[in-house]
Chain A
């Protein structure tokens, strides 16, 4: 079942903060976050694993609430380069390696 992302779209001014949420009705093993710019490939941001381990390589943080099957992506002091569509991808314990992606959150950062 597809995770639900909110909000669907957000517009920021450079330097402002944003939070993108992702929730699932199923027990999750991990949550992945990707950003996709128009016409380009999705780019990895973060993996959050059940048990609290977090892997990422950008100045973007995230949380994973295992009990609520929810994850949030925190974008602080946004930059113009943060503009794009953010997707969460969820992996269930029984789904093997397949990710189920949400419909995305379109983020626009204006000067």
Chain B
């Protein structure tokens, strides 16, 4: 596709449910990042992949958060046993090189009730 695609765009979950958010990066982009953006705040780093290798997961807030990119393209961010504080927009970004321009998707807005 022409840009970074994320799905679902909107997700409402009941507290305690598991959710999976998908990111389809720009074809050929080696680097993939997940960020969490709370309302009125800047994006906050969660994790970073180079191809299929997860090189940095220091931003994941708890062990309920898990990300994978098994074939070096599509990535999934999974949140287990969701809590209200998980409500945010989850942004995926990809880039051709690790320190280059980031191309962001429109995000997945998660609301936990």
Contact = CB atoms under 8 A, between A and B. Distances in A.
Interface stretch (A10-18, A60-68, A74-82, A96-104): A96-104
B85 interface: no
Interface residues of A, number: 24
Interface residues of B, number: 26
A98 B43 contact: no
B40 to A, nearest CB: 8
A20 interface: no
B104 A98 contact: no
What's the dominant secondary structure at chain B's contact region? Answer: loop
Contact of A101 (B40, B43, B100): B43
Given A47-B101, A96-B55, A97-B98, A41 B42 contact: no
Contacts of B56: 96-98
Contacts, number: 62
Most buried by A among B4, B42, B98, B102: B42
Contacts of B98: 96-97
A100 B45 contact: yes
Contacts of B99: 30, 47, 91, 97
Interface of B: 4, 31, 33, 35, 40-45, 48, 55-56, 58-59, 91, 98-107
Interface of A: 2, 30, 32, 34, 39-44, 47, 55, 87, 89, 91, 96-104
What are the nearest 4 A-B pairs in CB distance?
Answer: A101-B42, A41-B104, A97-B98, A44-B101
